[in-house]
Homo-oligomer: A and B are copies of this chain.
Amino acid sequence: MTAVLRIGEAARRAETTVRTIRYYEEIGLLPAAGTRESGAHRVYSEQDVERLRWVLRVKELLGLSLEELKEVVEGEELREVRREEYHGGASPERRHELAVEGLRLVGYQLDLVARRQAELDDLRAELTARRDRLEAILRDGA
């Protein structure tokens, strides 16, 4: 069911390149895909692809460096840990712990998004004012 993908297909699905995935692994941004003996092909799950898509999206929209992205990746990894442990039946304390840490990371991202939105709102307001002034000129002036 959970198809296993190799790096080429993973890259296509995540709308990125093979090199990028390997590079992210190199710098420790992405975990080394499974335990491989050197030379063996990397394998990815669809969840891995989803995680990567999310990370790339956040990077793009917030303009984060790969260094800054590490917190985001951490959050994504935690999500997966949570899913697995829940199905494997984790203790209530463990669940609590995971949820708390998850909240911290989600809060961090929400914070970044909110800030950027506020700045974009300001920018948009100024642009709209400019546009209105120009339209006024076209209407009743020049």
Q: Give chain B residues whose Cβ lies under 8 Å from the Cβ of A137.
A: 95-96, 99
Report yes or no: A142 in contact with B99, Cβ–Cβ below 8 A. yes
Chain B residue at smallest Cβ distance from A63: B63
Report yes or no: A110 in contact with B138, Cβ–Cβ below 8 A. no
A1 within 8 A of B: no
Q: Interface on A for B, CB 8 Å cutoff?
A: 57-58, 60-61, 63, 92-96, 99-100, 102-103, 106-107, 109-110, 113-114, 116-117, 119-121, 123-124, 127-128, 130-131, 134-135, 137-138, 141-142
| 30 residue pairs A–B, Cβ–Cβ below 8 Å | A57-B123, A58-B123, A60-B63, A61-B120, A61-B123, A92-B141, A92-B142, A93-B142, A94-B142, A96-B137, A96-B138, A96-B142, A99-B134, A99-B137, A99-B138, A99-B141, A102-B130, A102-B134, A103-B131, A103-B134, A106-B127, A106-B130, A107-B131, A110-B124, A110-B131, A113-B124, A113-B127, A116-B120, A117-B121, A120-B120
